[in-house]
Structure 1
Amino acid sequence: MTITEVRVHQVSVPLHTPWVTAVRRTEVVESLLVEIVDADGRSGWGEGVATWKITGDSLPGMAAAVAGPLAEAVTGRDPADLDDLCRAVGTAVVGNTAAKAAVDCALHDLAAVRLGVPLSQLLGAAPRLMPTDVTLALGPVAEMAEAAGQRVAEGFRVLKVKVGGDPVEDLHRLVAIRKAAGPGTVIRLDANQGWTAREAVRIVSQLEDADLGIELVEQPVPAGDLDGLAFVSARVSTPVAADETVWSPADLVEIVRRRAADVVNIKLAKSGGLRPARGLVAVAEASGVQVMVGSMMESHVGIGAAASLAAVTRTPYAVDLDAAWWLKHSPVTGGPSYEGPDLRLAAAPGLGITGLRP
């Protein structure tokens, strides 16, 4: 039994609310869905999204990588050789981590479909309901406070607040959001590289003095400023998470060596898929660094794969997988779904995807 075809589907899905961070704004998710088909006509699905300012990937570039060297690496081979196939994907082309992730996840999905088990079960966990945080997009103070109240009323227990604009306004945002969300709601910050190291120390220290109960602050400084990340971690009590700084095990080892972060946000589009992401999880767990499983602005396809990884990852943090919640609809039929603040993995084989949405 062999892989006969690698199909590429470009989809565009509108968001119900604009997504705004310190580095970008979008009102639509434009995504590349990869479908790998075997000789019996069974399909496995994966996804890659274009994030120019984070991964550097574009839709045309991903499509070319998938249709060219990545398809060549897997076509004609037995999908049961999952580990070797994913290793071949990782070495077929330099960079292109989002494209690699799409193919890697599609291979995992196909393997689970062929075995008749959910993807999470293939990885080692039964499909289940998982709570996720929800993001408050960057905006005016009053709008973010109002959104916080709405999300709490909808049942979300963890808010991930986008900051990283004007430092003074960021402080005002957090005071208003805490008041609107109430004392029982967990609040995290995501600066998306928006501060300098000294700004981050000053702002986080002010938040600590104000007793706003911030659980952690994610990627306060630019991705390449590892010294700055360590500078912040050494000078604040609030746990610091690394996101854009961590792509590979070598990155994570350096963070551990410098004690630069307490938490790492592992994303499939950065690591290149489930196989390399599981390697990152193993390094983090062996080093005493906590893990958060997150995503880019992906649809239900990418979120399903990330949630399957989260199901087998020991983390004290609710998963950071609300991306598909922002979509007006899924681009596929089947797959994971949201039930209020919770993400439900499909109990069907693989990701539970039966095809493109009509």
Structure 2
Amino acid sequence: MTIAAVRTHRLSAPLHTPFVTALRRTTTVETLVVEVVDADGRSGYGEAPQVWQVTGASVAGSEACVRELIGPAVTGRDADDLVARCTEVQRVVVGNEAAKAAVDVALHDLAARRLGVPLVRLLGGTALRVPTDVTLAAGEAVDLAAAARQRRAEGFGVLKLKVGTDAAGDLERVRAVRSAVGNGVRIRLDANQGWTPREAVRVIRGVEDAGLDVELVEQPVARWDLDGLAWVSDRVDVPILADESVFGVRDLVEVIRRRAADMVNVKLAKCGGLHPARTLLDLAAAHGLGTVVGSMMESQVGIGAAASLVGAYGTTAVADLDAAWWLAWSPVRGGLRYEGATVVLPDAPGLGISSVTEVKMQAHS
């Protein structure tokens, strides 16, 4: 069955709470949803989130890439020849991982729909329930403590605390959150490249000496500073999770070669989709690295694909897939839902998405 059209939809949806990290502050999700349509009129969906400060991807840039290069490369080709189509997606353009991810996921979603199975089944798994952490946006200690208590009351057992905006005050922030939730909740830290290597070691050792029981520390230093990342990893006991330092396979190979981190966070919008994401997970496992699957600020489209990957492949630590939970309303019909700290995938073909909401959306063929 041939691919008849590749369409793009621009989405803007508000968050119920501002999302603040060491890199940015946002109150909306700005994203591009890609729709791949076969000759029978079936549609598969994928997503390219706009994240200027992390991937450099924009809605306009991803849309141009899909419309001018990736879309024409797959239109008219066999939708059922999934590996070949995904390989073409990766080869047709340099970079543009978010655009590649959107088309890659849409092709997978369409293939699962054509077979009448959930995407997780197409990927080789059966789990429709995937636990997730929830993020505590960067802020002052008292506000973080209040947010932590609320998230715990809502059923979340793993809290990801955004730090890195102020190294001098970060230990107190961690202390406040631990005091607020007690010992029954896991806490992980994400500095989003906000510390220098020396600051990272100072803060992490302070956390260790205070007995605050932090599960892991994500991307403590600048993404390009692999020597600094390795220097930190060598000097602390808490596992270090590489995020922005690893986009694709070559990045992960270098992290492994330098022993720069203990774990890797795999994100579809960083690596280019489900096809390369599976390679990253296999490579990490082969070299004894821990794994997390995370996301950018995305809708149910991107989170559904990432959760399906976790449902099929698993990870060594709880996934980081709360992004769609932050949305004030859903920009899509159908798809996943949240039950407390669990992403619940629909027992329906593909991602289970029936349409993209027309509100604040522009469609192009």
Give the TM-score band, short-chain normalised.
Answer: over 0.9
How many corresponding residue pairs? 358
| 1:174 matched to 2:174 | yes
Alignment of 1:5-44 (within 5 A): 5-44=5-44
Secondary structure of 2:188's match? Answer: strand
In the alignment, which residue of structure 1 is the partner of 2:258?
A: 258
Structure 1 outlier segments of 4+, above 6 Å? none
Residue 258 of structure 1 deviates from its aligned partner by 1.1
Secondary structure of 2:215's match? Answer: strand
In the alignment, which residue of structure 1 is the partner of 2:114?
A: 114
Secondary structure of 1:182's match? Answer: helix
2:144 counterpart letter in structure 1: M
Residue by residue over 1:137-179, the C-alpha shift from the partner in whole angstroms, topping out at 9 and shown as x without a partner, is 0011111110000000111000000000111211111110000
In the alignment, which residue of structure 2 is the partner of 1:284?
A: 284
Residue 316 of structure 1 deviates from its aligned partner by 2.5
Residue by residue over 1:216-243, the C-alpha shift from the partner in whole angstroms, topping out at 9 and shown as x without a partner, is 0000000000000000000000000000
In the alignment, which residue of structure 1 is the partner of 2:159?
A: 159
Residue 250 of structure 1 deviates from its aligned partner by 1.3
In the alignment, which residue of structure 2 is the partner of 1:339?
A: 339
Q: Distance in 2 between matches of 1:275 and 1:299?
A: 20
1:255 counterpart letter in structure 2: V
Q: Distance in 2 between matches of 1:315 and 1:80?
A: 28
1:325 counterpart letter in structure 2: W
2:203 counterpart letter in structure 1: I
Residue 269 of structure 1 deviates from its aligned partner by 0.3
In the alignment, which residue of structure 2 is the partner of 1:63?
A: 63
Q: Distance in 2 between matches of 1:195 and 1:354?
A: 43
2:269 counterpart letter in structure 1: A
- Structure 1 contact 62–98 (Cα < 8 Å) conserved: yes
In the alignment, which residue of structure 1 is the partner of 2:361?
A: none
- Structure 1 contact 127–347 (Cα < 8 Å) conserved: no
Alignment of 1:94-109 (within 5 A): 94-109=94-109
Residue by residue over 1:179-202, the C-alpha shift from the partner in whole angstroms, topping out at 9 and shown as x without a partner, is 011111000000000000111011
| 1:147 matched to 2:131 | no
In the alignment, which residue of structure 2 is the partner of 1:316?
A: 316
Q: Distance in 1 between matches of 2:37 and 2:260?
A: 43
Alignment of 1:179-218 (within 5 A): 179-218=179-218
Q: Distance in 2 between matches of 1:125 and 1:314?
A: 9
Residue by residue over 1:277-332, the C-alpha shift from the partner in whole angstroms, topping out at 9 and shown as x without a partner, is 11111111111111100000000000000001111223221110000000012111
TM-score by length of 1: 0.99
Q: Distance in 2 between matches of 1:43 and 1:338?
A: 24
- Structure 1 contact 50–59 (Cα < 8 Å) conserved: yes
For structure 2, the residue ranges without an aligned partner over 5 or more in a row are 359-365
Q: Distance in 2 between matches of 1:29 and 1:250?
A: 29
Secondary structure of 1:29's match? Answer: strand
Residue 94 of structure 1 deviates from its aligned partner by 1.0
Q: Distance in 1 between matches of 2:24 and 2:152?
A: 25
Q: Distance in 2 between matches of 1:131 and 1:335?
A: 16
Residue 214 of structure 1 deviates from its aligned partner by 0.3
- Structure 2 contact 127–312 (Cα < 8 Å) conserved: no
In the alignment, which residue of structure 2 is the partner of 1:137?
A: 137
Q: Distance in 1 between matches of 2:53 and 2:243?
A: 13
Work out the percentage of aligned pairs sharing the same amino acid.
60
Indicate the larger mover: 305-314 or 258-267.
305-314
Residue 127 of structure 1 deviates from its aligned partner by 3.8
2:204 counterpart letter in structure 1: V
Alignment of 1:231-242 (within 5 A): 231-242=231-242
Secondary structure of 2:343's match? Answer: strand
- Structure 1 contact 118–127 (Cα < 8 Å) conserved: no
2:136 counterpart letter in structure 1: L
Q: Distance in 1 between matches of 2:152 and 2:250?
A: 38
TM-score by length of 2: 0.97
Q: Distance in 2 between matches of 1:73 and 1:329?
A: 34
Q: Distance in 2 between matches of 1:205 and 1:106?
A: 44
In the alignment, which residue of structure 1 is the partner of 2:46?
A: 46
- Structure 1 contact 127–346 (Cα < 8 Å) conserved: no
User: What is the Cα-based RMSD across aligned positions, in Å?
Assistant: 0.8
| 1:77 matched to 2:77 | yes
Residue 92 of structure 1 deviates from its aligned partner by 0.9
2:165 counterpart letter in structure 1: G
Q: Distance in 2 between matches of 1:43 and 1:171?
A: 48
- Structure 1 contact 50–57 (Cα < 8 Å) conserved: yes
Q: Distance in 2 between matches of 1:28 and 1:314?
A: 29
Q: Distance in 1 between matches of 2:332 and 2:69?
A: 26
Q: Distance in 2 between matches of 1:261 and 1:68?
A: 38
In the alignment, which residue of structure 1 is the partner of 2:295?
A: 295
Q: Distance in 1 between matches of 2:80 and 2:312?
A: 21
Q: Distance in 2 between matches of 1:120 and 1:225?
A: 35
